[in-house]
Structure 1
Amino acid sequence: MKEKIDLNADIGESFGTYKLGEDENIVSYISSSNIATGFHAGDPNWMKITIDLALSNNVQIGAHPSYPDLHGFGRRNMDLNSLEIENIIKYQVGSMIGFTGLKNLQHVKPHGALYNKAVNDPMVANSIIKAIKSISTEIIHVVLAGSLWENLADESNVKYAREAFADREIMSDGSLCPRNIEGSVITDKKLIAKRSLDIVLNKKVQSFDGDYVNVDADTICLHGDTKGAVEIANVVFNNLKKNDIDIVPMCEIL
């Protein structure tokens, strides 16, 4: 049986007259997209533009909600209670559904600090799960593979996709290496391609500490704002294809 994997990327992170990333090029190499919903980046016009871009390239659509932190690009932690987290998720996912309709929204993947906090904080993870589940039980929850978050999603009987990162270093416990540590973001396209292959074929990847960590993933994230992102996506895509791995949206894997 052929191996298959979903490739996802964060897109739609432009704002007003400011353009970020090469969305129109990277969509050629991904099967699922995480589109910003206005709290860390994006705005109504860019959301519509990006949704149309994804649909025209047969790329599945996901909402990419974050903490309300435009100035910090959603990468700063915020101390919100469970109801506040539920409300910001519902608000942002609801805005996406206003453009796509419910049936065209494949998944929800939180952004930045909100994502990182959900990995180890049960209150945050459960609040995210509860908010998405209240909107629809058909929406896929994107969670970090092997995390507490994955366990909670499993216990909640929701659809979830386990995510791994090829262009980010991970720690020996499977969590993402903090961005303030030098070398946490990988830009070597050959190394990223190798890590992607390891994730799919060997179900493991080398950690920042040098150990190999078991990773059972349904989707691999490629960051659209990484230097050389399009070239990296091209190399990863073609290397997976060369190794007879099908690239399909997460809804076709679960």
Structure 2
Amino acid sequence: MNIIDLNCDIGEDYGAYRLLTEQEERMLMQHVSSVNIACGFHAGDPKTMRRTVRLALEHDVAIGAHPGLADLHGFGRRELQVSAEDVYELVLYQLGALMAVAKAEGGIVRHVKPHGALYNMAARNEHLAEAIVKAVYKVDDQLILYGLADSQLIRAAKQRGLAYASEVFADRRYEQDGSLTPRTHHAASITDVNEATAQVLQIITTGKVTTRTGQFLPLQANTICIHGDNGAAVQFARLLSQQLKEAGWVIRGKGVRL
């Protein structure tokens, strides 16, 4: 049986600002197997976290923490000057917050996926990657770390003995070094769902991705990300999950140990 996890970044509202309607969130959760919930630093607040956890439990979707840099104005996508100790503490803080909300609602947090700039910085920087992995491991060594495939995050998880999921992106292009094309580049994002599906199927069936410059790059995939802030996220998730199922893949995330 071919099994793949389809994850989505979600719960990224804050105060009066809504990224997705509750109906859109419900529709998204019908097509994914795990969600990464913002924990209040780059987005999210207590009410949003609680609502999103409830929706995930209602749809039997695996709950994950999505800690980011303390940068609400930049949505956590600006690279800030932070030390490994800073990163360790901010992951502890945010993971603890979501775990408390999940427990109060009768659920548990199953994985952790850093957000935005923190994710990309830790993918390159072994010290930041080790700080994230240390924080996750110290809180609960049964959690799964989601990290960019073949990055420092995955290497740090392996070294620590923490379960991990190598993540690939449906809606982003890749550079030859395995990094995501920077969002400042006009070709960073894939907006056509058929092109995105073709990229995902290429990765999970051949173990390779075609980079932005047309070269082939080896890439392992345990989980596929869809960005919830994509304007067409609901349609994207629906069509991608449909085409994956038609290609013989089972979408499953809950309880998987990788």
TM (norm. structure 1) is 0.96
Question: Unpaired runs of 5+ in structure 2?
Answer: none
The share of aligned pairs that are identical, in percent, is 40
Q: Secondary structure at the match of 1:174?
A: coil
Relative distance call for 1:216 and 1:251 in structure 2 (3 A) is farther
Matched, 1:205 2:204: no
Of 33, 41, 44, which aligns to 2:43? 41
Give matches, 1:103-182, under 5 Å.
104-182=108-186
Tell me the CA shift for residue 135 of structure 1. 0.2
Paired residue type of 2:157: A
* Matching residue of 2:241: 237
Tell me the CA shift for residue 148 of structure 1. 2.4
Paired residue type of 2:100: G
Q: Secondary structure at the match of 2:30?
A: helix
Q: Secondary structure at the match of 2:111?
A: strand
* Matching residue of 1:16: 15
Relative distance call for 1:205 and 1:251 in structure 2 (3 A) is farther
Matched, 1:252 2:256: yes
* Matching residue of 1:221: 225
Q: Please, what is the CA RMSD of the aligned residues?
A: 1.3
TM (norm. structure 2) is 0.95
Report if the CA contact (8 A) 1:63-1:96 is conserved: yes
Report if the CA contact (8 A) 1:218-1:253 is conserved: no
Give the Cα–Cα distance (whole angstroms) in 2 for the partners of residues 153 and 53 of structure 1: 29
Q: Provide Cα deviations, 1:162-196, integer angstroms capped at 9, x if missing partner.
A: 10111001101111110000020111010011111
Give the Cα–Cα distance (whole angstroms) in 2 for the partners of residues 105 and 214 of structure 1: 31
Q: Aligned pair count?
A: 253
Give the Cα–Cα distance (whole angstroms) in 2 for the partners of residues 196 and 137 of structure 1: 30
* Matching residue of 1:186: 190
Tell me the CA shift for residue 227 of structure 1. 2.4
Tell me the CA shift for residue 250 of structure 1. 5.9
Report if the CA contact (8 A) 2:89-2:135 is conserved: yes
Give the Cα–Cα distance (whole angstroms) in 2 for the partners of residues 55 and 198 of structure 1: 32
Q: Secondary structure at the match of 2:36?
A: strand
Give the Cα–Cα distance (whole angstroms) in 2 for the partners of residues 244 and 229 of structure 1: 22
Give the Cα–Cα distance (whole angstroms) in 1 for the partners of residues 76 and 194 of structure 2: 29
Tell me the CA shift for residue 103 of structure 1. 6.8
